[in-house]
């Protein structure tokens, strides 16, 4: 069910939430709990898997550029910014850690934009490899079920070639034990392997003419927590169904009951920093309580 938001609130009227808003993060008001993704460790930070040791954290940005000045976010002053290192394959990740109270349908909406760092006076429209969102979900203890991770990324460019494809990831790497207590494991699920194209044509996004001009894009992603499945997604004028959109699934973990984490990330394709900006994020659900 989609509700009609009163048009008197311009911040919410641009969204189409389900019956109950679970959280609304306007980054003019701060980070709203979005934090770095830290790899699991036990007794020593040296036990963190190598891939997790340099994931860049989220920050607030007013989008100040050397030539255009301060643009601010799409609707306000500050955006959540993810910035990679200036190295091909570098990742920046932001996570919001929360739980759910009912196995219903949920929906994430946001306005986002991405660009490479404006260091060489060129557009660089394929210098950002990918930008994406994923969920890390585990059933409640009563269900005794599974942990599952729906990944969705926009593969913008790869090795200097435009791709413009939406992709999901149905499999991840094997788990590795961390420490000797038997309580902690880890796996890296943002590697380059295993991504599959979402059915449909490539979607070209607006990059404008120079690297310091930003155009914002709308994204909506739906999940059914009970079925452990995507319900589809929309980016701008394109709507995609859930066909062949399979999430990663694995056995439930001992301490993650009712987990509903959300992560955004971006990845560089060249030795230039890649930036992902989020104006705001809204998560809603069709839940009774």
Per residue in 141-159, pLDDT tens? 776 789 999 999 999 999 9
For residue 2, pLDDT beyond 60: no
pLDDT at 11 > cutoff 90: no
Residue-wise pLDDT for 27-58, tens only, equals: 999 999 999 999 989 888 889 999 999 999 99
pLDDT confidence bin for 134, thresholds 50/70/90: very high
Structure tokens belonging to residue 271: 């030795």
Instruction: Read off the pLDDT of residues 58-102 as tens digits, 9 standing for 90 and up.
Output: 999 999 999 989 999 999 999 999 999 999 999 999 999 999 999
Please state the domain extents for the chain: 16-286
Output the pLDDT for position 177: 87
CATH of the domain spanning 16-286, picked from 3.40.50.150, 2.60.120.200, 3.40.50.300, 2.90.10.10: 2.60.120.200
pTM of structure: 0.94
The string of pLDDT tens digits covering residues 226-253 is 999 999 999 999 999 999 999 999 999 8
User: pLDDT tens digits, residue range 206-232?
Assistant: 999 999 999 999 999 999 999 999 999
pLDDT score for 1: 46
- Of the chain, the percentage scoring pLDDT greater than 70 comes to 97
């Amino acid at each position: 069910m989609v509700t009609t938001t009163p048009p008197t609130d311009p911040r919410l009227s641009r969204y189409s939430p389900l019956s109950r808003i679970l959280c609304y993060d306007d980054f003019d008001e701060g980070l709203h709990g979005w934090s770095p993704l830290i790899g699991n460790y036990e007794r020593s930070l040296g036990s963190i898997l190598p891939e997790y040791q340099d994931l860049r954290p989220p920050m607030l940005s007013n989008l100040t550029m050397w030539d255009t000045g301060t643009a601010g976010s799409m609707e306000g002053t500050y955006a959540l910014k993810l910035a990679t290192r200036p190295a091909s394959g570098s990742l920046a990740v932001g996570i919001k850690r929360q739980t759910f109270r009912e196995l219903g349908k949920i929906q994430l909406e946001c306005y986002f934009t991405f660009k490479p760092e404006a260091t060489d006076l060129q557009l660089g429209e394929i210098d950002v490899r990918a930008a994406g969102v994923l969920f890390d979900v585990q059933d409640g203890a009563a269900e005794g079920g599974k942990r599952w991770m729906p990944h969705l990324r926009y593969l913008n460019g790869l090795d200097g070639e435009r791709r413009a494809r939406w992709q999901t990831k149905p499999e991840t790497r094997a788990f590795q034990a961390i420490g000797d207590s038997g309580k902690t494991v880890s796996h890296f699920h943002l590697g380059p392997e295993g991504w599959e194209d979402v059915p449909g044509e490539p979607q070209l996004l607006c990059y404008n003419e120079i690297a310091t001009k930003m155009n914002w894009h709308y994204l909506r992603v739906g999940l059914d927590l009970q079925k452990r499945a995507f319900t589809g997604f929309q980016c701008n004028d394109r709507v995609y169904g859930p066909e062949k959109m399979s999430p990663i699934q694995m056995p439930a973990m001992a301490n993650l009951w009712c987990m509903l984490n959300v992560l955004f990330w971006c990845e560089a394709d060249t030795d230039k920093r890649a930036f992902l900006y989020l104006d705001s994020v809204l998560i809603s659900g069709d839940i009774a309580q």
